[in-house]
Amino acid sequence: MTQLPSSTTRKLGLVIDLDTCVGCHACVISCKGWNTENYGAPLSDMDAYGGDPSGTFLNRVHTYEMQPEQGGAAQTVHFPKSCLHCEDAPCVTVCPTGASYKRVEDGIVLVNESNCIGCGLCAWSCPYGARELDRAEGVMKKCTLCVDRIYNENLPEVDRIPSCVRTCPAGARSFGDLGDPDSDVSQLVAARGGYDLMPELGTKPVNKYLPPRPKDTTDAIDILAPFLEPVAEEATGFIGWLDRALDALPASPKKGSN
C-alpha cells in the first residue's frame, strides 16, 4: 500500500560516520553478496565480463574532495549512500502498484517485487539515487535494511544486523532505532551532530550522517605544547645536559668515576 503509515513504531536506520569511513567498499560488496542471495531477485550484472559492465548495487560509495574556502589543503571524504528510509518517502506514494511500501513496525521502505511493474517512477522521485531498476529482472531494487537479517531467527543474535554494518572494518556504520532518543544510534547522532541529506526536499530521512571532525587544525596542541625548548645547541652542551638528566632519573645511582 503506497499510503505512508501515519507513524511507525520504530525508525530503524543507519548512522554513517564520515569521519571514520576509509572508502573501502566493503559495505558495497557485502550488501551485493547478501542481497544477491537473499531478498527478491538476485542483483544482476549486465555485460559482466565485457566492455561496459553495469550491475545493480544497493549501496555505493562516492568520494568527494572539499576545498576549504579559507585556503589550506583540500580534504577527501568517502561517502557511502544507500536508502535513507525516509519518513516522508516520496518513492512510496508515487508507486502506482503498491509494490513500494513503508513498514509500519519499523519504518523500513521496501519493494514487493511481485507487484512491481518496473515503471521506475519511485527511482525518479528519490533524491538520493537509492533505487536501481534491475535490468535482468525489471523490478526495482533498493536497500532492504536487511529486513531478512535483522529479525532472522536462523542467525545468531549478534548477527541480526545489516550485512554492511556487520562487515564494515572501520566501524563507520551503526544500526539502530533512530526514533528512540535513548538508543545508541540516537545518542551518537546527538553527540556528533548527525545530519540529514538534502533536508530542503522534505523527505525526512531516517539515516543520519556524522560529519568529519575538523581536520588539519592545530589549535589544541598550540596551547598544550609549544615548540620544544632546546636543552643544548650542539653536541658538547648536549652531553652536559645528558649527564645531569641521567643523574635526575628516578632509579639513577650516583655517578661513579670513569
Partner 1 sequence: MHPAPSVILFTALSGLGFGLLTWLGLGMPDVTGTVAFVFYFIGFALSGGGLIASTFHLGNPQRAIKAFTQWRTSWLSREAWLSLAALTVMGIYAVGQIFFGERLVLVGYVGASLSLITVFSTSMIYTQLKTVPRWNHPTTPMMFLMLSVSGGALLANQMDKAALLLLVSGALQVLTWHLGDGRFAQRGSTLESATGLGHMGKARQFEPPHTGTNYLLDEFVYVVGRKHSRNLRVIALLCMSIIPGLGLLLMPPPHNAALVFIVLHIAGLFASRWLFFAEAEHVVGLYYDKR
Partner 2 sequence: MNKHVQPALDTSPKVSDEIRQTTCYMCACRCGINVHMKDGQVAYIEGNRDHPVNKGVLCAKGSAGIMQVNAPSRLKSPLKRVGPRGSGEFEEISWDEALEIAGGHLGRIRESDPKKLAFFTGRDQSQSFTGFWAQSYGTPNYAAHGGFCSVNMAAAGIYTMGGAFWEFGQPDWDRAKLFMIFGVAEDHDSNPIKMGLGKLKKRGAKIIGVNPIRSGYNAIADEWVGITPGTDGLFILALVHELMKAGKVDLNYLSQFTNAPVLLNEDPDSPENGLFLRDKDGKPLVIDRATGKQVAFDKKGITPDLAGHFRKGGVTYRTVFQHMADRYLSDEYAPDAVADRCGIPADTIKRIAAELAHTAFNEAFELPIEWTDFRGNKHKSMPGRPVSFHAMRGISAHANGFQTARALHVLQILLGSVETPGGFRFKPPYPKPAEAHPKPHAGAQPGKPLDGPHLGYPQGPDDLLLDDVGNAKRIDKAFTWENPLSAHGLMHMVISNAYAGDPYKIDTLFMYMANMSWNSSMNTSGVIKMLTDTDDNGDYVIPNIIYSDAYSSEMVAYADLVLPDTTYLERHDCISLLDRPICEADAMADSIRWPVIEPDRNVRPFQSVLVDLGARLGLPGFVNDDGSAKYQDYADYIVNHERRPGVGPLAGFRGENGDQAGRGDVNPNQMQAYIDNGGFFEEHIPTEASYYKPWNAAYQDWAVKMGLFDAPQPYLFQLYVEPMRKFQLAAEGHGTQQPPEHLRQQVRQKMDPLPIWYPSAEEGADEYPIHALTQRPMAMYHSWGTQNAWLRQLHGKNPLYVPTKVWTENGFQDGDWARVTSPHGSIVVPVALQAALNPDTVWTWNAIGKRKGTWALGQDAPEATEGFLLNHLIHELMPPKGDGLRWNNSDPVTGQAAWFDLRVKIDKCDPPAEAQPAFPEIKSPVGRGPQNLTWKVGK
Judged by the rule CB under 6 A, the positions of this chain that interact with ligand SF4 are: 21-27, 31, 34-35, 58-59, 61, 78, 80, 82-86, 89-91, 94-97, 99-100, 109, 111, 116-122, 126, 128, 130-131, 140, 142-146, 162-164, 168, 170, 172-173, 203
Q: Measured from the CB atom, is 70 or 224 closer to partner 2?
A: 224
Q: Which partner from the list partner 1, partner 2, ligand SF4, none does 58 bind, CB cut-off 5 to 8 Å by kind?
A: ligand SF4
What pairing do the DSSP bridges indicate for beta strands 109-111 and 100-102?
antiparallel
Residue 169 beta carbon to partner 1: minimum distance, rounded to whole angstroms: 18
Going by C-beta distance under 8 Å and a sequence separation of 6 or more, which residues neighbour residue 114? 99
Q: Measured from the CB atom, is 48 or 200 closer to partner 2?
A: 48
Binding residue for partner 2, selected from 96, 120, 171, 211, defined by CB under 8 A: 171
> Which residues, 105 to 144, sit near partner 1 by CB under 8 A?
115-121, 123-129, 132-135, 137-140
Residue 56 beta carbon to partner 1: minimum distance, rounded to whole angstroms: 7
Residue with cell string 548495487: 57
Q: Report the alpha-carbon angle 18-11-89, nearest 5.
A: 85
Q: For residue 224, with 0-12 CB atoms within 10 Å meaning exposed, 13-18 middle and 19 or more buried, which class applies?
A: exposed
Does position 240 interact with partner 1 (CB under 8 A)? The reply is no
Work out the number of other CB atoms within 10 angstroms of the CB of residue 204.
Answer: 14
Does position 70 interact with partner 2 (CB under 8 A)? The reply is no
Does position 157 interact with partner 2 (CB under 8 A)? The reply is no
| Nearest in space to 127 (alpha carbons), one of 197, 206, 44 | 197
Cell of 221: 596542541
Going by C-beta distance under 8 Å and a sequence separation of 6 or more, which residues neighbour residue 166? 30, 159
Binding residue for partner 2, selected from 69, 70, 200, 225, defined by CB under 8 A: 225
Binding residue for partner 2, selected from 120, 129, 152, 195, defined by CB under 8 A: 152
DSSP state of 97: S
